[in-house]
A and B are shown apart, each in its own frame.
Chain A
Amino acid sequence: MSNDLIIKDLYARIGDKEILRGVNLTVRQGTIHAIMGPNGSGKSTLSYIIAGHPSYEVTGGEIWYKGHNLLELEPDERSRLGVFLAFQYPVAVPGVTVANFLRAAINAHRAEEGKDPKETAIPAAEFRKLLREGLNVLDMDESFIRRYLNDGFSGGEKKRLEILQMMLLKPSMAVLDETDSGLDIDALRIVANGVNRLAGPEMGVLVITHYQRLLNYIKPDVVSVMMDGRIVREGGPELALELEEKGYDWLREELTGAA
């Protein structure tokens, strides 16, 4: 059984609008894989579809992970399989505290078929310990967990909370959609540290970003470029540097020239 994330010829649309037009991409277990690409090229759409967003209509293709076609699973089943998405725009849920939300998420992961949820629930002391560790690594204040989920959070606070969730859920495949946007340089370093503590031979990471500066902290093994709903180029870390320096036009010209 492969723990690579394998995306095959994925087509997707929303309404009449075709967004993904044949995405082929493999994120190998134990690697950090970056996706770069112009605004509107379909990067967030791809990450949403990996996580199971109901608004997008998948018109073709497959996404394989741990022997499952993810497209056949509910979003929560995908999560419990080890897939995690750090949202570009995390969603606020007023009235639900961060602490209750995190506990519910952890307990959902610990739940076992045929067992009383009370039996598998995380003991309070263990939960507090995990939480304190995470808050510490991300340099977040304790008071944070009593606030309502993403409600009135600053951009940076939202991104930290995404990483906190990732640290608590310990996914085996994490998709980070522009986790760097809205972070100052100190926050960026802290968040990257959170990711790097988890990353390792067991984990695949797909990092979506516009900026090399994140990739200075989270070093990619592979860089893919998405344009107009397709992966148009794949390379090593040097490809990110080249894009940073030259922009996308040269690539676009190369591609149309080649066509």
Chain B
Amino acid sequence: MTTTLPTLNEISAEMVVARSQSAGEPAWLTERRREAWTAFAQMNPPEWRRTDLSKLDPTTIAPSDGAHATAIQWDPALAAQGVVFTTLAAALHTHEALIQKYMDTAVEPLKHKFSALRAALWQDGALLYVPKGVAIEVPLRLIYTLATDGTAIFPRTLVIVEPHASVTLIEEFTSPDLRAGSFAGPITELFVGDGASVRFVSIQHWGSGVYHLAGQRAILARDANIEWTSIQLGGQVQHIEAETTLVGNGSRLNWLGATFAADTQHLVIAPWMRHVGHNCESFMQFKTVVNDTAYSVFDGMIKIEHESAATSTRLEEHALHLSPKARNDSIPGLMISTNDVLKGGHASTSGDIDQEQLFYMQTRGIPRAEAQRMIVMGFFEPALETVPLEELRAELTAEIAAKI
């Protein structure tokens, strides 16, 4: 079946339109896809200086043909409270107006060639809708998988949390080791309403070989709160553009990251914290470990818009080198367009494993390799401890240990 799927260079706008229509999608969506595909076809690739896409070959990328790559895990009894957690394809029949209103308003579809590609071809994905005031204790889980070599998936997560509701969502990208050329182009959009609270854990742990070019954005309303954890372990090449926009006054963001690049992996992440509202607080702490000949890039940014006021923000990035041939570029930025900043801070460290820590642990009988493993785990602990499922945490711990 996979052999019959057209590759990117074989797809035309007509095929995109025909596929949308035959899936019974509403006309506005068909039109958005057509527009996005046209933009994709016309645009040059974005100039990402630190992301090497030279081996990305459109003639080998064949979009998968169904929504079977999405697994949704939750307690369906929550539906009684009005919670919706289902595939986007299904939700289009039941919540079309809601989807039309929010979709594409957080992650700009025509920003560059790859965002246009994602907006044109998205197939798998889920809508999570939490009605006003509903508090969900148990974590919800969304798993995207790639099962076949050399195919592409374009999953899309749309999360709408109404005022004073709260929810925890795990979004996971996972697969066996695959041949280079397997491709994922996910879009994730989160809308956090007034006084609502979201814990969002996004985990990229593809098997080897996968290209992962993702756009993610959360938009916070008044007094909204998000605890976002970004974990990046897998794939061959990754480029994640992520942003939290603190639009509503008094909104808060706490963002923890853990990236581990080993072998020949090339993992880039650009998390932005954008302040628009008054009295907003943001904190970001990203940890990066590089090993072997891997290359990672942290391109974090604090952007404080002119209409914001009394912003408090802090960005930290820490990198650990396990091999002299591994490389990490940390290029945190700060753009301020106002004089009204309450607190702003930045810290960055980079280095090898601390010899004094290793020695101290060894003097207690712990062998060097084990001490090293514990130090790396400890380094990632702030992000790892936010992963709400014990068995998932254990899985990630094992994956990290295998890369040391």
Contact = CB atoms under 8 A, between A and B. Distances in A.
Interface of A: 51-55, 74-76, 78-80, 84-85, 87, 90-96, 100-101, 104-105, 108-109, 148, 165, 169
Interface string B321-356: 000000000000000000000000000000000111
Contacts of B374: 93, 96, 100-101, 104
B361 A93 contact: yes
Nearest to A86: B363
Nearest to B355: A54
B364 A165 contact: yes
Nearest to B369: A76
A74 B364 contact: no
Given A94-B378, A95-B379, A101-B374, A76 B368 contact: yes
Contacts of A92: 357
A151 to B, nearest CB: 9
A98 B84 CA distance: 42
26 contacts: A51-B359, A52-B363, A53-B359, A54-B359, A55-B355, A74-B367, A75-B362, A75-B363, A76-B365, A76-B366, A76-B371, A79-B363, A79-B364, A91-B360, A93-B357, A93-B361, A93-B375, A94-B381, A95-B379, A95-B380, A96-B378, A96-B381, A101-B364, A104-B370, A105-B366, A109-B365
A95 B382 contact: yes
B377 interface: yes
A93 B378 contact: yes
A108 B378 contact: no
A104 B366 CA distance: 7
B318 to A, nearest CB: 10
B385 to A, nearest CB: 9
Nearest to A165: B364
A169 B365 contact: yes
B137 to A, nearest CB: 23
A209 to B, nearest CB: 20
A85 B379 CA distance: 25
Q: Which of A78, A91, A95, A148 has the most CB of B within 10 A?
A: A95
A108 B365 contact: yes
Contacts of B365: 76, 79-80, 105, 108-109, 169
Q: Which of A80, A92, A94 has the most CB of B within 10 A?
A: A94
B134 to A, nearest CB: 32
A55 B360 CA distance: 13
Q: Which 8 pairs across A and B sit closest by C-beta, in order of nearness?
A: A95-B378, A95-B381, A79-B365, A105-B364, A75-B362, A91-B360, A96-B378, A108-B365
A108 B370 contact: yes
Nearest to A95: B378
A85 B363 contact: yes
Contacts of B359: 51-54, 75, 91
A169 B356 contact: no
A96 B375 contact: yes
